[in-house]
Protein backbone atom coordinates (compact mmCIF):
# COMPACT_ATOMS: atom_id res chain seq x y z
CA UNK A 1 0.00 0.00 0.00
CA UNK A 2 2.82 2.38 0.87
CA UNK A 3 4.53 1.62 -2.43
CA UNK A 4 1.31 2.28 -4.31
CA UNK A 5 0.82 5.59 -2.52
CA UNK A 6 4.40 6.59 -3.28
CA UNK A 7 3.93 5.71 -6.94
CA UNK A 8 0.69 7.70 -7.08
CA UNK A 9 2.35 10.71 -5.44
CA UNK A 10 5.28 10.42 -7.84
CA UNK A 11 2.95 10.28 -10.84
CA UNK A 12 1.06 13.36 -9.61
CA UNK A 13 4.32 15.23 -9.13
CA UNK A 14 5.45 14.26 -12.63
CA UNK A 15 2.07 15.33 -14.07
CA UNK A 16 2.14 18.67 -12.25
CA UNK A 17 5.70 19.31 -13.39
CA UNK A 18 4.67 18.52 -16.98
CA UNK A 19 1.83 21.02 -16.76
CA UNK A 20 4.20 23.65 -15.35
CA UNK A 21 6.69 23.03 -18.16
CA UNK A 22 3.93 23.30 -20.77
CA UNK A 23 2.66 26.52 -19.20
CA UNK A 24 6.23 27.87 -19.30
CA UNK A 25 6.86 27.16 -22.99
CA UNK A 26 3.39 28.47 -23.92
CA UNK A 27 4.02 31.69 -21.98
CA UNK A 28 7.38 32.10 -23.73
CA UNK A 29 5.77 31.60 -27.15
CA UNK A 30 3.01 34.04 -26.22
CA UNK A 31 5.54 36.72 -25.29
CA UNK A 32 7.63 36.21 -28.43
CA UNK A 33 4.64 36.48 -30.80
CA UNK A 34 3.06 39.29 -28.77
CA UNK A 35 6.12 41.46 -29.36
CA UNK A 36 5.80 40.95 -33.10
CA UNK A 37 2.55 42.91 -33.10
CA UNK A 38 2.08 44.85 -29.86
CA UNK A 39 4.31 47.71 -31.01
CA UNK A 40 2.28 48.46 -34.15
CA UNK A 41 -0.44 50.48 -32.44
CA UNK A 42 2.15 52.44 -30.43
CA UNK A 43 4.19 53.53 -33.48
CA UNK A 44 2.63 57.02 -33.88
CA UNK A 45 3.34 57.84 -30.22
CA UNK A 46 6.89 56.49 -30.51
CA UNK A 47 7.48 58.59 -33.63
CA UNK A 48 6.31 61.78 -31.90
CA UNK A 49 8.36 61.23 -28.74
CA UNK A 50 11.63 60.06 -30.29
CA UNK A 51 11.56 61.95 -33.58
CA UNK A 52 11.65 58.98 -35.94
CA UNK A 53 11.54 59.55 -39.67
CA UNK A 54 8.90 57.60 -41.57
CA UNK A 55 11.54 55.23 -42.95
CA UNK A 56 13.30 54.83 -39.63
CA UNK A 57 10.07 54.06 -37.81
CA UNK A 58 9.60 50.86 -39.82
CA UNK A 59 12.75 49.47 -38.21
CA UNK A 60 11.08 49.44 -34.81
CA UNK A 61 9.15 46.48 -36.28
CA UNK A 62 11.63 45.22 -38.89
CA UNK A 63 14.62 45.20 -36.54
CA UNK A 64 12.87 42.67 -34.32
CA UNK A 65 11.62 40.48 -37.16
CA UNK A 66 14.98 40.53 -38.95
CA UNK A 67 17.08 39.22 -36.06
CA UNK A 68 14.33 36.90 -34.86
CA UNK A 69 14.34 35.02 -38.16
CA UNK A 70 18.04 35.47 -38.90
CA UNK A 71 19.40 34.13 -35.60
CA UNK A 72 17.01 31.24 -35.04
CA UNK A 73 19.31 28.59 -36.51
CA UNK A 74 22.06 29.76 -34.19
CA UNK A 75 19.63 29.65 -31.27
CA UNK A 76 18.54 26.14 -32.14
CA UNK A 77 22.08 24.78 -32.29
CA UNK A 78 23.00 26.59 -29.07
CA UNK A 79 20.16 24.75 -27.30
CA UNK A 80 21.69 21.43 -28.38
CA UNK A 81 25.26 22.35 -27.44
CA UNK A 82 24.71 24.26 -24.22
CA UNK A 83 21.39 22.86 -22.98
CA UNK A 84 17.74 23.72 -23.54
CA UNK A 85 17.24 25.00 -19.99
CA UNK A 86 20.28 27.26 -20.15
CA UNK A 87 19.43 28.75 -23.54
CA UNK A 88 15.78 29.27 -22.63
CA UNK A 89 16.88 31.22 -19.56
CA UNK A 90 19.53 33.16 -21.54
CA UNK A 91 16.93 33.98 -24.20
CA UNK A 92 14.51 35.24 -21.56
CA UNK A 93 17.24 37.31 -19.92
CA UNK A 94 18.34 38.91 -23.20
CA UNK A 95 14.73 39.56 -24.22
CA UNK A 96 13.84 41.11 -20.87
CA UNK A 97 16.98 43.25 -20.67
CA UNK A 98 16.43 44.52 -24.20
CA UNK A 99 12.80 45.31 -23.29
CA UNK A 100 14.03 47.38 -20.33
CA UNK A 101 16.43 49.32 -22.57
CA UNK A 102 13.68 49.86 -25.14
CA UNK A 103 11.23 51.11 -22.54
CA UNK A 104 13.78 53.62 -21.21
CA UNK A 105 15.14 54.64 -24.65
CA UNK A 106 15.67 58.35 -25.12
CA UNK A 107 16.64 58.28 -28.80
CA UNK A 108 15.48 56.53 -31.93
CA UNK A 109 18.79 54.69 -32.34
CA UNK A 110 18.66 53.20 -28.86
CA UNK A 111 15.13 51.91 -29.40
CA UNK A 112 16.01 50.27 -32.72
CA UNK A 113 19.09 48.69 -31.12
CA UNK A 114 16.90 47.38 -28.30
CA UNK A 115 14.45 45.88 -30.79
CA UNK A 116 17.32 44.15 -32.61
CA UNK A 117 18.49 42.71 -29.28
CA UNK A 118 14.92 41.63 -28.48
CA UNK A 119 14.86 39.70 -31.74
CA UNK A 120 18.09 37.93 -30.80
CA UNK A 121 16.61 37.00 -27.43
CA UNK A 122 13.49 35.66 -29.15
CA UNK A 123 15.67 33.67 -31.58
CA UNK A 124 17.42 32.00 -28.64
CA UNK A 125 14.15 31.42 -26.83
CA UNK A 126 11.81 30.04 -29.51
CA UNK A 127 13.88 26.99 -30.60
CA UNK A 128 14.53 26.14 -26.95
CA UNK A 129 10.77 25.95 -26.29
CA UNK A 130 10.34 23.59 -29.24
CA UNK A 131 13.23 21.44 -28.03
CA UNK A 132 11.71 21.27 -24.53
CA UNK A 133 8.43 20.04 -26.03
CA UNK A 134 10.14 17.51 -28.27
CA UNK A 135 12.30 15.99 -25.53
CA UNK A 136 10.10 16.61 -22.49
CA UNK A 137 6.91 15.08 -23.89
CA UNK A 138 8.05 11.71 -25.20
CA UNK A 139 4.60 10.10 -25.48
CA UNK A 140 3.06 10.95 -28.85
CA UNK A 141 -0.35 12.06 -27.55
CA UNK A 142 1.19 14.28 -24.90
CA UNK A 143 3.57 15.81 -27.45
CA UNK A 144 0.74 16.46 -29.90
CA UNK A 145 -1.27 18.22 -27.19
CA UNK A 146 1.79 20.25 -26.22
CA UNK A 147 2.26 21.42 -29.82
CA UNK A 148 -1.41 22.35 -29.99
CA UNK A 149 -1.18 24.41 -26.81
CA UNK A 150 2.08 26.03 -27.99
CA UNK A 151 0.48 26.99 -31.32
CA UNK A 152 -2.63 28.34 -29.61
CA UNK A 153 -0.46 30.44 -27.28
CA UNK A 154 1.12 32.05 -30.33
CA UNK A 155 -2.35 32.79 -31.67
CA UNK A 156 -3.33 34.42 -28.39
CA UNK A 157 -0.16 36.51 -28.52
CA UNK A 158 -0.86 37.69 -32.05
CA UNK A 159 -4.46 38.57 -31.25
CA UNK A 160 -3.64 40.25 -27.95
CA UNK A 161 -0.89 42.38 -29.50
CA UNK A 162 -3.12 44.93 -31.20
CA UNK A 163 -5.61 45.16 -28.33
CA UNK A 164 -2.99 45.31 -25.56
CA UNK A 165 -0.82 47.74 -27.49
CA UNK A 166 -3.69 50.17 -27.88
CA UNK A 167 -4.82 49.85 -24.25
CA UNK A 168 -1.30 50.26 -22.80
CA UNK A 169 -0.41 53.18 -25.07
CA UNK A 170 -3.67 54.98 -24.31
CA UNK A 171 -3.84 54.23 -20.58
CA UNK A 172 -0.14 54.44 -19.64
CA UNK A 173 2.56 55.15 -22.20
CA UNK A 174 4.12 53.46 -25.21
CA UNK A 175 7.12 52.72 -22.98
CA UNK A 176 5.08 50.16 -21.04
CA UNK A 177 4.64 48.17 -24.24
CA UNK A 178 8.29 47.20 -23.62
CA UNK A 179 8.56 47.52 -19.84
CA UNK A 180 5.73 45.05 -19.25
CA UNK A 181 8.07 42.29 -20.47
CA UNK A 182 10.52 42.85 -17.61
CA UNK A 183 8.45 41.47 -14.69
CA UNK A 184 6.95 38.77 -16.93
CA UNK A 185 10.44 37.69 -18.01
CA UNK A 186 11.62 37.58 -14.38
CA UNK A 187 8.72 35.31 -13.41
CA UNK A 188 9.34 33.00 -16.37
CA UNK A 189 13.05 32.74 -15.53
CA UNK A 190 12.11 31.69 -11.99
CA UNK A 191 9.66 29.11 -13.33
CA UNK A 192 12.30 27.76 -15.72
CA UNK A 193 14.80 27.37 -12.89
CA UNK A 194 12.23 25.43 -10.86
CA UNK A 195 10.62 23.27 -13.55
CA UNK A 196 13.30 22.44 -16.11
CA UNK A 197 15.98 19.92 -15.35
CA UNK A 198 19.56 20.48 -16.42
CA UNK A 199 19.71 17.86 -19.17
CA UNK A 200 23.13 16.63 -20.30
CA UNK A 201 24.76 18.87 -22.91
CA UNK A 202 27.33 18.17 -25.57
CA UNK A 203 30.18 20.06 -23.93
CA UNK A 204 32.90 18.55 -26.07
CA UNK A 205 31.54 20.20 -29.21
CA UNK A 206 32.31 23.79 -30.04
CA UNK A 207 30.06 26.09 -32.00
CA UNK A 208 30.62 26.10 -35.77
CA UNK A 209 31.70 29.74 -36.14
CA UNK A 210 31.96 29.71 -39.93
CA UNK A 211 28.49 28.22 -40.22
CA UNK A 212 27.13 30.61 -37.60
CA UNK A 213 28.49 33.67 -39.42
CA UNK A 214 27.58 32.67 -42.99
CA UNK A 215 24.20 31.16 -42.09
CA UNK A 216 23.07 34.00 -39.87
CA UNK A 217 24.42 36.75 -42.15
CA UNK A 218 22.95 35.05 -45.21
CA UNK A 219 19.48 34.78 -43.71
CA UNK A 220 19.63 38.33 -42.36
CA UNK A 221 20.74 39.76 -45.73
CA UNK A 222 18.07 37.81 -47.59
CA UNK A 223 15.29 38.95 -45.25
CA UNK A 224 16.62 42.53 -45.23
CA UNK A 225 16.49 42.65 -49.02
CA UNK A 226 13.00 41.18 -49.12
CA UNK A 227 11.81 43.76 -46.57
CA UNK A 228 13.15 46.60 -48.75
CA UNK A 229 10.99 45.42 -51.65
CA UNK A 230 8.09 47.25 -50.00
CA UNK A 231 9.70 50.57 -51.03
CA UNK A 232 11.90 49.60 -54.00
CA UNK A 233 11.59 47.54 -57.17
CA UNK A 234 12.70 43.92 -57.00
CA UNK A 235 15.48 44.45 -59.56
CA UNK A 236 16.79 47.61 -57.92
CA UNK A 237 20.13 47.62 -56.15
CA UNK A 238 18.38 48.23 -52.82
CA UNK A 239 16.61 44.85 -53.12
CA UNK A 240 18.65 42.74 -55.52
CA UNK A 241 21.94 43.64 -53.79
CA UNK A 242 21.17 42.29 -50.31
CA UNK A 243 19.08 39.40 -51.68
CA UNK A 244 21.96 38.35 -53.95
CA UNK A 245 24.46 38.70 -51.12
CA UNK A 246 22.21 36.65 -48.87
CA UNK A 247 21.85 33.86 -51.39
CA UNK A 248 25.62 33.85 -51.98
CA UNK A 249 26.32 33.62 -48.26
CA UNK A 250 23.80 30.80 -47.89
CA UNK A 251 25.49 28.95 -50.76
CA UNK A 252 28.84 29.37 -48.97
CA UNK A 253 27.14 28.16 -45.79
CA UNK A 254 25.90 24.95 -47.45
CA UNK A 255 29.33 24.20 -48.98
CA UNK A 256 31.09 24.90 -45.68
CA UNK A 257 28.67 22.71 -43.73
CA UNK A 258 29.01 19.87 -46.23
CA UNK A 259 32.78 19.87 -46.75
CA UNK A 260 34.67 21.73 -44.06
CA UNK A 261 32.73 21.80 -40.79
CA UNK A 262 33.59 18.91 -38.48
CA UNK A 263 30.67 19.81 -36.20
CA UNK A 264 28.32 21.83 -38.43
CA UNK A 265 25.79 24.36 -37.21
CA UNK A 266 23.15 22.61 -39.34
CA UNK A 267 24.09 18.98 -40.04
CA UNK A 268 22.95 18.43 -43.63
CA UNK A 269 22.14 14.82 -42.74
CA UNK A 270 19.00 16.19 -41.08
CA UNK A 271 17.55 16.91 -44.52
CA UNK A 272 17.81 13.21 -45.35
CA UNK A 273 15.04 12.75 -42.76
CA UNK A 274 12.01 13.11 -45.00
CA UNK A 275 9.72 14.53 -42.35
CA UNK A 276 12.22 17.26 -41.49
CA UNK A 277 12.75 18.22 -45.14
CA UNK A 278 9.07 18.05 -46.13
CA UNK A 279 7.84 19.65 -42.92
CA UNK A 280 10.23 22.60 -43.26
CA UNK A 281 9.33 23.07 -46.94
CA UNK A 282 5.62 23.14 -46.09
CA UNK A 283 6.21 25.54 -43.19
CA UNK A 284 8.03 27.85 -45.62
CA UNK A 285 4.94 27.87 -47.84
CA UNK A 286 2.58 28.10 -44.89
CA UNK A 287 4.28 31.27 -43.59
CA UNK A 288 3.02 33.14 -46.62
CA UNK A 289 -0.53 31.86 -46.10
CA UNK A 290 -0.58 33.20 -42.53
CA UNK A 291 0.55 36.61 -43.79
CA UNK A 292 -2.15 36.64 -46.47
CA UNK A 293 -4.79 35.87 -43.86
CA UNK A 294 -3.99 38.34 -41.10
CA UNK A 295 -2.12 41.17 -42.83
CA UNK A 296 -4.10 41.55 -46.05
CA UNK A 297 -7.47 40.92 -44.43
CA UNK A 298 -6.63 43.78 -42.07
CA UNK A 299 -5.82 46.03 -45.04
CA UNK A 300 -9.03 44.99 -46.79
CA UNK A 301 -11.15 45.85 -43.76
CA UNK A 302 -9.57 49.28 -43.42
CA UNK A 303 -8.96 50.30 -47.03
CA UNK A 304 -12.02 48.76 -48.70
CA UNK A 305 -14.68 48.61 -45.99
CA UNK A 306 -13.40 51.73 -44.21
CA UNK A 307 -13.02 50.20 -40.74
CA UNK A 308 -11.03 51.92 -38.01
CA UNK A 309 -7.97 50.19 -36.55
CA UNK A 310 -9.91 49.18 -33.42
CA UNK A 311 -12.91 47.92 -35.40
CA UNK A 312 -10.52 45.97 -37.64
CA UNK A 313 -8.98 44.27 -34.63
CA UNK A 314 -12.41 43.37 -33.32
CA UNK A 315 -13.43 42.16 -36.78
CA UNK A 316 -10.52 39.72 -36.85
CA UNK A 317 -11.10 38.48 -33.29
CA UNK A 318 -13.62 35.72 -34.22
CA UNK A 319 -11.09 34.19 -36.61
CA UNK A 320 -8.32 34.42 -34.01
CA UNK A 321 -10.49 32.73 -31.37
CA UNK A 322 -11.47 30.03 -33.88
CA UNK A 323 -7.80 29.39 -34.65
CA UNK A 324 -6.97 28.96 -30.96
CA UNK A 325 -9.85 26.55 -30.35
CA UNK A 326 -9.10 24.47 -33.45
CA UNK A 327 -5.36 24.40 -32.71
CA UNK A 328 -6.08 22.82 -29.33
CA UNK A 329 -8.59 20.41 -30.88
CA UNK A 330 -6.11 19.43 -33.60
CA UNK A 331 -3.74 18.23 -30.88
CA UNK A 332 -6.40 15.76 -29.74
CA UNK A 333 -7.16 14.67 -33.31
CA UNK A 334 -3.55 14.21 -34.43
CA UNK A 335 -2.84 10.93 -32.60
CA UNK A 336 -6.21 9.57 -33.73
CA UNK A 337 -6.38 10.38 -37.44
CA UNK A 338 -2.74 11.10 -38.31
CA UNK A 339 -0.87 14.03 -39.80
CA UNK A 340 -1.67 13.69 -43.50
CA UNK A 341 -5.48 13.60 -43.14
CA UNK A 342 -5.30 16.60 -40.82
CA UNK A 343 -3.09 18.60 -43.21
CA UNK A 344 -5.33 17.70 -46.16
CA UNK A 345 -8.46 18.76 -44.25
CA UNK A 346 -6.76 22.00 -43.22
CA UNK A 347 -5.59 22.68 -46.77
CA UNK A 348 -9.12 22.12 -48.10
CA UNK A 349 -10.43 24.72 -45.63
CA UNK A 350 -7.66 27.14 -46.60
CA UNK A 351 -8.27 26.69 -50.32
CA UNK A 352 -12.03 27.12 -50.03
CA UNK A 353 -11.77 30.04 -47.62
CA UNK A 354 -9.27 32.00 -49.71
CA UNK A 355 -11.25 31.49 -52.94
CA UNK A 356 -14.36 32.71 -51.10
CA UNK A 357 -12.47 35.69 -49.66
CA UNK A 358 -11.10 36.61 -53.11
CA UNK A 359 -14.66 37.34 -54.26
CA UNK A 360 -15.27 39.96 -51.55
CA UNK A 361 -15.78 43.55 -52.69
CA UNK A 362 -16.79 46.90 -51.29
CA UNK A 363 -20.46 45.89 -51.32
CA UNK A 364 -19.97 42.37 -49.89
CA UNK A 365 -20.42 43.36 -46.26
CA UNK A 366 -18.66 41.90 -43.25
CA UNK A 367 -20.68 38.77 -42.49
CA UNK A 368 -20.57 37.05 -45.87
CA UNK A 369 -17.60 38.88 -47.37
CA UNK A 370 -15.14 38.56 -44.47
CA UNK A 371 -16.42 36.67 -41.42
CA UNK A 372 -17.49 33.51 -43.23
CA UNK A 373 -14.30 32.95 -45.24
CA UNK A 374 -11.92 34.01 -42.46
CA UNK A 375 -13.54 31.57 -40.03
CA UNK A 376 -13.00 28.81 -42.59
CA UNK A 377 -9.38 29.92 -43.13
CA UNK A 378 -8.83 30.04 -39.36
CA UNK A 379 -10.03 26.42 -39.10
CA UNK A 380 -7.52 25.51 -41.81
CA UNK A 381 -4.66 27.31 -40.04
CA UNK A 382 -5.60 25.69 -36.72
CA UNK A 383 -5.54 22.22 -38.27
CA UNK A 384 -2.40 22.74 -40.35
CA UNK A 385 0.11 24.83 -38.39
CA UNK A 386 0.51 22.76 -35.19
CA UNK A 387 0.48 19.58 -37.28
CA UNK A 388 3.28 20.84 -39.53
CA UNK A 389 5.35 21.90 -36.52
CA UNK A 390 4.86 18.47 -34.94
CA UNK A 391 5.77 16.67 -38.18
CA UNK A 392 8.86 18.81 -38.85
CA UNK A 393 10.30 18.16 -35.38
CA UNK A 394 9.03 14.68 -34.46
CA UNK A 395 11.92 12.67 -35.94
CA UNK A 396 14.69 14.82 -34.44
CA UNK A 397 17.72 12.64 -33.57
CA UNK A 398 19.06 12.68 -30.03
CA UNK A 399 21.04 15.85 -29.46
CA UNK A 400 19.52 17.67 -32.45
CA UNK A 401 16.11 18.72 -31.08
CA UNK A 402 17.18 22.35 -30.78
CA UNK A 403 18.46 22.78 -34.32
CA UNK A 404 15.51 20.86 -35.77
CA UNK A 405 13.18 23.26 -33.93
CA UNK A 406 15.29 26.17 -35.16
CA UNK A 407 14.96 24.96 -38.74
CA UNK A 408 11.17 24.71 -38.41
CA UNK A 409 10.87 28.16 -36.85
CA UNK A 410 13.22 29.70 -39.41
CA UNK A 411 11.30 28.18 -42.31
CA UNK A 412 8.03 29.63 -41.03
CA UNK A 413 9.48 33.08 -40.30
CA UNK A 414 11.36 33.34 -43.61
CA UNK A 415 8.27 32.11 -45.45
CA UNK A 416 6.25 34.86 -43.81
CA UNK A 417 8.77 37.57 -44.76
CA UNK A 418 9.08 36.42 -48.37
CA UNK A 419 5.34 35.84 -48.63
CA UNK A 420 4.58 39.37 -47.44
CA UNK A 421 6.90 40.86 -50.04
CA UNK A 422 5.59 38.72 -52.90
CA UNK A 423 1.95 39.26 -52.00
CA UNK A 424 2.54 43.01 -51.74
CA UNK A 425 3.85 42.89 -55.30
CA UNK A 426 0.81 40.86 -56.38
CA UNK A 427 -1.53 43.40 -54.77
CA UNK A 428 0.30 46.27 -56.48
CA UNK A 429 -0.59 49.91 -56.28
CA UNK A 430 -4.24 49.11 -57.07
CA UNK A 431 -4.62 47.04 -53.88
CA UNK A 432 -5.80 43.95 -55.73
CA UNK A 433 -6.47 41.94 -52.58
CA UNK A 434 -8.51 39.39 -54.51
CA UNK A 435 -5.38 38.40 -56.45
CA UNK A 436 -3.49 37.97 -53.17
CA UNK A 437 -6.16 35.66 -51.77
CA UNK A 438 -6.24 33.58 -54.98
CA UNK A 439 -2.46 33.23 -54.81
CA UNK A 440 -2.80 32.06 -51.19
CA UNK A 441 -5.40 29.52 -52.32
CA UNK A 442 -2.87 28.23 -54.86
CA UNK A 443 -0.27 27.77 -52.11
CA UNK A 444 -2.82 25.83 -50.05
CA UNK A 445 -3.33 23.52 -53.02
CA UNK A 446 0.44 22.97 -53.29
CA UNK A 447 0.62 22.09 -49.58
CA UNK A 448 -2.15 19.53 -50.06
CA UNK A 449 -0.42 17.94 -53.05
CA UNK A 450 2.96 17.72 -51.29
CA UNK A 451 1.43 16.33 -48.10
CA UNK A 452 -0.48 13.64 -49.99
CA UNK A 453 2.32 12.56 -52.33
CA UNK A 454 5.66 13.16 -50.57
CA UNK A 455 5.04 12.97 -46.84
CA UNK A 456 5.66 9.51 -45.47
CA UNK A 457 3.74 7.76 -42.71
CA UNK A 458 4.40 9.38 -39.34
CA UNK A 459 4.49 7.96 -35.87
CA UNK A 460 0.92 9.21 -35.39
CA UNK A 461 -0.39 7.13 -38.31
CA UNK A 462 1.58 4.15 -37.05
CA UNK A 463 0.24 4.49 -33.52
CA UNK A 464 -3.34 5.35 -34.39
Q: Is the pLDDT of residue 130 over 70?
A: yes
**CA 373, 388, 127 angle in degrees (round to 5)?**
120
Mean pLDDT of 399-403: 78
Residue 55: band (very low, low, confident or very high) from pLDDT cuts 50, 70, 90: low
- Does residue 153 share a domain with residue 85? yes
Shared-domain flag, residues 227 and 118: no
Q: Report the length, in residues, of the chain.
A: 464
Could you say which DSSP state residue 362 is in? Answer: T
% of the chain surpassing 90 pLDDT:
23
Region 427-432: mean pLDDT is 75
Average pLDDT over residues 242-255: 92
* Predicted local confidence at residue 275, as pLDDT: 86
Average pLDDT, the chain: 82
Mean pLDDT of 339-363: 92
Residues 195 and 237 in one domain: no
- What pLDDT, on the 0 to 100 scale, is given for residue 10? 47
Residues 167 and 256 in one domain: no
Helix spans in 105-236 (H): 108-136, 140-171, 175-179, 181-195, 209-228
pLDDT given for residue 83 in this prediction: 85
Q: Considering 203, 218, 243, which residue would you say is the last residue of a domain?
A: 203
Q: Domain range holding 384?
A: 270-464
Residue 85, pLDDT above cutoff 80: yes
Please say if the pLDDT value at position 294 is more than 70.
Answer: yes
Residues 46 and 131 in one domain: yes
pLDDT (tens digit per residue) in 361-380: 888 888 888 999 999 999 99
Confidence (pTM): 0.80
**The last residue of a domain, from among 166, 187, 203:** 203
Section 384-407 average pLDDT: 82
Choice among 152-166, 246-260, 445-459 with the minimum mean pLDDT: 152-166
Q: What is the pLDDT of residue 11?
A: 40
Q: Give the residue, 283 or 198, on which the prediction is more confident.
A: 283
Is 186 in the same domain as 224?
no
Q: The CATH number of the domain where 336 resides is what?
A: 1.20.1250.20
Confidence of residue 154 (pLDDT cuts 50, 70, 90): confident
pLDDT of residue 331 exceeding 70:
yes
Q: How far is CA 53 from CA 46, 218, 324, 345, in A?
A: 11, 28, 37, 46
The mean pLDDT value for 318-325 works out to 86
In a shared domain, residues 446 and 301: yes
The number of folded domains in the chain is: 3
Output 114 or 80, whichever has higher pLDDT.
114
- 329 versus 141: the higher-pLDDT residue is 329
Q: Are residues 214 and 199 part of one domain?
A: no
| pLDDT tens figures, 182-213 | 999 999 999 999 888 755 555 556 677 788 88
Q: Is 296 exposed, middle or buried (0-12, 13-18, 19+ CB in 10 A)?
A: buried
Does 386 share its domain with 241? no
Selection from 442, 331, 348, 321 nearest residue 388 by Cα: 331
Amino acid sequence: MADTSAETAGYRTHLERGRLVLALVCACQFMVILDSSIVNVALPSIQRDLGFTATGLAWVVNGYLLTFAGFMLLGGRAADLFGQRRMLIVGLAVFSAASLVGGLAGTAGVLVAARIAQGIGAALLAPATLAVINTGFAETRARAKAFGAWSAAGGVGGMAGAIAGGAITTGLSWRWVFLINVPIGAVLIAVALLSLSGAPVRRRESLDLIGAVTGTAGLAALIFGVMRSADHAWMSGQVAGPVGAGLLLLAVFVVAEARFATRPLVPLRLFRIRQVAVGDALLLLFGGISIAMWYFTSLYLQNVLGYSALRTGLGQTPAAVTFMVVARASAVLLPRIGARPQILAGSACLLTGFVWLSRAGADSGYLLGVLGPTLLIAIGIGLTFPTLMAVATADAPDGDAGIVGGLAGTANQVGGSIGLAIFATVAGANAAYGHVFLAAAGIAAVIAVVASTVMKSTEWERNS
